[in-house]
Amino acid sequence: LRPRTNNAPKCLTLVNETPIIVNCLDALAAAGVRECAVVAGYLAEAVRSAVGRSHAGMKVRHDLNERYFETNDMYSLWLARDLLEGGAYVIEGDVFFRPSLLPEAEGAMAPKSYYFAGAYDGRKNEVRIETSPERRVLAIDVCRNGCSGPTGKNVFFSAGFLAVRPEFGAGFSRWLSEYVERGEVNVLFDDVLAAHAGDAELFVHEITFRDWVEID
């Protein structure tokens, strides 16, 4: 998004006059979340200044990824793994979505852990998810460098956020830590999930392009 991001990180970009991160925090607070972690690296002080320590009654903690130049989102997620272990929403900082999506999904999916995902249409460079007819995740393919994959009735792509229950979150935290211990920190958290697809139950909650957009 340069030059828009020369002086502020992407999550502060305005969409219909609302910063991406504010829309996200509004949604979390409205869904009853009482504590969240904002992990930032690039121009992190701008994020802390814009967001503060609370939002709509929700406690906001700020974790700093000092290694943002050499790491990817799995490392940022690892920094907040204590919240992950208690069950959490994991939301990337460039996703703008209808706030009502969160309670709607909970009504349909609780008590499962699940990706928010759209029907895959063959687009390139996406996180492609294959499921069973019941939409349990069977395989995750992180497509890079212009690659794509076959489409199908039970093929989706990640919308950039997911809901994790404590049991799944505990395993997810452990898998992230194993990657960090090996020094594999410049990967997506989807890569970690892909390596453990089938080790714990993870599902897909389908949403449409009317529900969300990734801001690139």
Encode pLDDT of 88-136 as tens digits.
Answer: 999 999 999 999 999 999 999 999 999 999 999 999 999 999 999 999 9
Looking at residue 4, what is its pLDDT?
Answer: 85
Name the percent of the chain in helix, strand, coil, to the closest 5: 30, 30, 40
Query: CA torsion sign, 117 to 103 to 195 to 185?
Result: positive
Q: Is 215 exposed, middle or buried (0-12, 13-18, 19+ CB in 10 A)?
A: middle
- pLDDT at residue 216 in the model: 83
Whether the pTM exceeds 0.75: the reply is: yes
Q: In the prediction, which pLDDT does 84 show? A: 95
Longest dimension (CA), the chain: 46
For 30-77, what is each residue's pLDDT tens digit?
999 999 999 999 999 999 999 999 999 999 999 999 999 999 999 999
62-71 contacts: CB < 8 A, separation 24 or more? 62/37, 62/38, 63/37, 63/38, 63/39, 64/39, 64/40, 65/39, 65/40, 65/41, 66/41, 67/41, 67/185, 68/41, 68/42, 69/41, 70/185, 70/186, 71/41, 71/185, 71/186
Q: At residue 1, does pLDDT exceed 90?
A: no
Q: Which two tokens stand for residue 91?
A: 């939301």
pLDDT of amino acid 2? 87
